[in-house]
Amino acid sequence: MIEQNILKVRDSIREACKAAQRAPDEVQLLAVSKKHPAQAIREAFESGQRFFAENYCQEALDKQQALSDLDIEWHFIGPIQSNKTRSLATHFDWIHSLDRLKIATRLNDQRPEDMPPLNVLIQYNVDQESQKAGADLTEITELTESIVQLPKLKLRGLMAIPDPEQNPEISFAKVAQVFKTLQKRYDSIDTLSMGMSNDLAPAIANGATMVRIGTAIFGQRT
């Protein structure tokens, strides 16, 4: 089932790329495995999927331990508490949900010396939802200036989750605009993480380079 789902999602990505006149290899599939067991991740891995994302630190560490024999690239996409930064800096390759300097500084200081710089995306709260994590436009400008000074972090781009009440096309276009501005200013920026199971096509049409897909691969979460 998981294998077929992955094939279907890859087809949808290919179609969306074609419709947007983009090359299919411009968009990377990130499998969001939160609330699904390690065994489901193993199955997805055996179907050729290498990049996985988790939202909860402890849940992720438990699964990483159970899957330590697999060469998985781990992404963290959930809200970040400051008492979790050491675990995140040690056990992840990417962080998508960076939204404040205090956390960036801690991740930089706690990234082990013998590991490559931690890839980070700034989460952009594009629709200004008060209950949602993420930085606003002014904060993003300040944050990027600071993050590029931190040697153990590598600023790769932006992540966004639009307000489901809004037209996703409009939200994604706004994110793309900010992304393009950042790209002009910083050489390291190449990643735009947006699009989930229900809005993958409009995200790709607006320039997403990484889509985060959970339900369409693993089924409903309980």
Ligand X SMILES: *Cc1c(COP(=O)(O)O)cnc(C)c1O
What does the binding site for ligand X look like in residue numbers (CB under 6 A)? Answer: 32, 34, 55, 77, 161, 196-198, 212-216
Q: Tell me whether residue 83 or residue 220 sits nearer to ligand X (CB atom).
A: 220
**Closest residue to ligand X, based on beta-carbon distance:** 214
Which of 122, 150 has the CB closer to ligand X? 122
Nearer to ligand X, 129 or 186 (CB): 129
CB of 184 to ligand X, least distance (A): 26
CB distance 172 to 206 below 8 Å: yes
- Pick 4 or 145: Cβ nearer ligand X: 4
What pairs with residue 212 in β-bridges?
A: 30
* Shortest distance (Å) from residue 85 CB to ligand X: 18
Nearer to ligand X, 86 or 132 (CB): 132
Q: For ligand X, which is the closer residue by CB, 124 or 150?
A: 124
Whichever of 52 and 150 has its CB closer to ligand X, that residue is 52
CB of 113 to ligand X, least distance (A): 30
CB 159 within 8 A of CB 123: yes
Smallest separation, CB 199 to ligand X (Å):
9
Report the nearest approach of ligand X to the CB of residue 31 (Å). 9
Q: Mapped to the 3 state alphabet, what secondary structure does the chain carry? A: CHHHHHHHHHHHHHHHHHHCCCCHHHCEEEEECCCCCHHHHHHHHHCCCCEEEECCHHHHHHHHHHCCCCCCEEEECCCCCHHHHHHHHHHCCEEEEECCHHHHHHHHHHCCCCCCCEEEEEEECCCCCCCCCCECHHHHHHHHHHHCCCCCEEEEEEECCCCCCCCHHHHHHHHHHHHHHHHHHCCCCCEEECCCCCCHHHHHHCCCCEEEECHHHHCCCC
Burial class (CB in 10 A: 0-12, 13-18, 19+), 114: exposed
We find the least distance from the C-beta atom of residue 4 to ligand X, in angstroms, to be 16
In whole angstroms, the minimum distance from the beta carbon of 127 to ligand X comes to: 14
